[in-house]
Chain A
């Protein structure tokens, strides 16, 4: 039996879930094993060596000798590397747990060294899983591993020290598609996370769209085109991976159509981050979820049953319903100029693409003051007179103006299978939330989910047939007060319950439910002055200075402003605190 099989067998018995994860882990190409001068392999990740390329075994022994260890103190080692430094310690019979940031490194370690002593006792943790670690415990670090994952190290140190924690603030990377309807959703989601105080970043792939389009024109040979496309996706995937390594997020959220392949999602997980995917599409129209969903930690959908059941059948355990929302910074009531009102206003308006069901259904409104905005409409068909702007795409800025300027905003969910209204339609499109947030009056086709989000006839108008739609258009055009009341209530409800900020918090709650220990619980952000108060004994002269600071002073710079305004000669602690502030400033400036 090989070392790998023995290790895996031992882990299988003590922690089958981790054994499976490590078994499935993919090793990225820049994780390189090479023989050291003395023969045993060493590992290099990117440009960082985790061990001595000369004699990793001796280096590991030296590391162990350098540790000053107490009696019977439980130990937690940050960083497994290939295990060279851990083995001497285990052989001495020390009680030690190991936290390794990367699944890929863990896999390589299990392939390289006999770690069964560690594994049979289930004392290896990988990534953000700190479950079952002893507390308090002495934390030892494998330096190169800490440098690769400093954030996780800090989190582990806080965890072991029992620092009081709340969920987050988290580091979150939101991955956008190159183009399409889910692109703005990625932007809104990132902003939603930020609004909740998380450090969220958007990896915006839209600038690559031009390149993506250009590829198609480069060759007529389909085989070659396929290869180009594959390489192109791989290239974009490299960008994502390097971003993840730079930022070390706690969570990566990919939006539908983001340029990620199942392989890439696997590689992401090997980096030790939690990967989530938000499939903001109709699962019956777009079947690519089958490949992606099993590869992520959490898969969010806009549809419930039977989609969730289908996902379960496909082996996806952690799937959850996460509806769309609105970004009130974009979709908001506007005061428009008379020119804008004229240009964007109508009795009845629709913003969206020309799906077939809409092309057919909307012919029933041609006798009204009706404007259609958006792309993919047949400019030579019966609706031609209503289509605005030559069927150009509509920007979000324009859409807000249209929602504000039009008396009735029509919303009809797309359906490739039905002419007109889809009687089985369940999920809600973005427009439902966007119109509401903009304060526009909305008339929407009846959807199974709708009553859970907005109260029909109180917060928006609903129709199930052309004649019902026409009746309500007639009613609400002639009852302006009623129309405005409904729109205002719709907006209120939307701001209360359906913003991206709230939605992203819901998503995090779901994730925390699936993985109770995965999302870090960090101490709440502490202001500089509170931290100072904590760092000095109660009778220290600094406390008196801090106590005299005006109310609401949270930063050292505020305190210094207060000191500047004083008249009495600075006391020694005052002058020292000011000096401390100057040092901080000097560091920011890069000179003193």
Chain B
């Protein structure tokens, strides 16, 4: 049955909301006649005019309800109850619940209509993940192998639909206008300010760039000190917009800019969604395969020490080597290349890779443009990507990887892994074991979920198919 009214619940922050836009577009294409509504944090409603067209935008003032909750629970209850009644009155046929959070689960449950994504089970007490979500969730247990982008994870919850050709971002003007986001939400994924300062200097010097610094009011000091560190004659090339733009003003500015250079931030996703060229500086817990810029011909410079990607939560890193692995010189060269000016670097920096994106029907793909050749993690990741397409029904086929020349150790591990998938061995070398973790986590989730709802086809059948595809994919490289 084709739904007449679809609600998407996305209560997370800016970056996640923007990364949900591909899903909204796909729903439009899959259900051309249906109305499409979105429930999101009221603070982000400023963005409504910039994303895909929405028929109904509902907000939840998360902070207000939360502030009332402890002391004036009666009032807060009534606010929530009215919000739910209001949503119910819109008569949705289907709800897409994207967040693995109790909050959105309960809201989805209260609406009392079929749910896609994180489904309520056990009378509203538990989350039942779609097998596709359970699969990506399994990959999160060994993120080094995850090659499925968040936007694609969301997008594939909708029925398949032809994705129109996306156009690459336009070429930069002379004296390009380059926006720079100097902070991220977490220090572990933030490139040093002094590096941003040096990068700004290089861009002004080599490209004659004008620089806009973006960020929040709290980050304004960063921009000020960046400007102070530049020679006086360059300072007028830099404008500090930190803390003085609204969300919609920021979006307008990002549209105007030729290029944004940023860590893994909401600003980066917003710029990419506006079709602006992006150079992502990814390090620490940030992995571009999961949350890099979405769309064709975007760039990422990623620091990949053996511990990458690390966990964002937990104590600070005792040896944050990745912070300084990406030299400003490399970032400047990639930025020049992204602006269509200057030669692409052939100098190699240990542990650092430069990627450029391409789009395929399965989703965004990150192609190595500089840095070390393909390794074990890339191949296992690719195998999981292909097997993921199988979980979705097999209609989509990710493109194969470029030819890889593997090291002897990697080749041996691949053989062992393929062997383990064939005979079900568990006692294997640690590296191989780690590559099996996503599979085990996937199986465990599916098995535990059957307590609330039987699965069709049964778990064993799904697992056998996934293992077979994984093995076949790995054997291609051996």
A interface, CB within 8 angstroms of B: 528, 531-532, 534-536, 542, 556, 563-564, 566-570, 572, 575-584, 586-587, 592
Q: Which of A568, A569, A576 contacts B84 (CB 8 A)?
A: A576
- Of the stretches B61-69, B234-242, B377-385, B405-413, the one at the interface is B61-69
Q: Which of A531, A564, A579 contacts B103 (CB 8 A)?
A: A579
Tell me the bound Cα distance from A344 to B183 in angstroms: 61
Is there contact, CB below 8 Å, between A566 and B123?
Answer: yes
**B102 interfacial contact with A, CB 8 Å:** yes
- Would you mind naming 28 contact pairs between A and B with Cβ atoms under 8 Å apart? A528-B70, A528-B73, A531-B73, A532-B74, A535-B75, A566-B123, A566-B125, A568-B123, A569-B123, A570-B124, A570-B125, A572-B110, A575-B109, A576-B81, A576-B106, A577-B77, A579-B110, A580-B76, A582-B101, A582-B102, A582-B103, A583-B103, A584-B66, A584-B69, A586-B62, A587-B67, A587-B70, A592-B101
Is there contact, CB below 8 Å, between B66 and A583?
Answer: yes
Tell me the bound Cα distance from A534 to B74 in angstroms: 9
Nearest 7 CB-CB pairings of A with B = A535-B74, A569-B123, A587-B66, A570-B124, A584-B69, A583-B66, A583-B69
Given contacts A556-B73, A583-B103, 7 further A-B contacts (CB under 8 A): A570-B123, A575-B106, A579-B106, A582-B101, A587-B63, A587-B66, A587-B69
Tell me the bound Cα distance from A283 to B106 in angstroms: 68
SS of A interface (majority)? helix
On chain B, the residues within 8 Å of A563 by CB distance are 125
Q: How many residues from B make CB contacts under 8 Å with A?
A: 27
On chain B, the residues within 8 Å of A592 by CB distance are 11, 62, 66, 101, 103
On chain A, the residues within 8 Å of B72 by CB distance are 535
Q: Which residue of A lies closest to B74 (CB)?
A: A535
On chain B, the residues within 8 Å of A578 by CB distance are 102, 106, 124
Tell me the bound Cα distance from A531 to B74 in angstroms: 8
Is there contact, CB below 8 Å, between B66 and A575?
Answer: no
A586 to B: closest C-beta gap in Å: 5
On chain A, the residues within 8 Å of B102 by CB distance are 578, 582
Tell me the bound Cα distance from A358 to B107 in angstroms: 76
B416 to A: closest C-beta gap in Å: 41
Is there contact, CB below 8 Å, between A569 and B124?
Answer: yes
Is there contact, CB below 8 Å, between A583 and B125?
Answer: no
Tell me the bound Cα distance from A528 to B71 in angstroms: 8
Q: Which of A566, A570, A576, A582 contacts B77 (CB 8 A)?
A: A576
Per-residue A-contact encoding for B118-147, CB less than 8 Å = 1, 0 else = 000001110000000000000000000000
Is there contact, CB below 8 Å, between A586 and B123?
Answer: no
Q: Which of A542, A556, A564, A572 contacts B125 (CB 8 A)?
A: A564
A449 to B: closest C-beta gap in Å: 47
Tell me the bound Cα distance from A569 to B125 in angstroms: 8
Tell me the bound Cα distance from A277 to B104 in angstroms: 55
Which of B76, B77, B84, B109 counts the most A-chain CB atoms under 10 A from its CB?
B77
Which of A531, A569, A578, A583 counts the most B-chain CB atoms under 10 A from its CB?
A583
Is there contact, CB below 8 Å, between A583 and B76?
Answer: yes
On chain B, the residues within 8 Å of A568 by CB distance are 123
B100 to A: closest C-beta gap in Å: 12
A544 to B: closest C-beta gap in Å: 14
Chain B residues 307-344 with CB under 8 Å of chain A are none
Tell me the bound Cα distance from A586 to B12 in angstroms: 12
Is there contact, CB below 8 Å, between A586 and B103?
Answer: yes
Is there contact, CB below 8 Å, between B77 and A542?
Answer: yes
A151 to B: closest C-beta gap in Å: 14
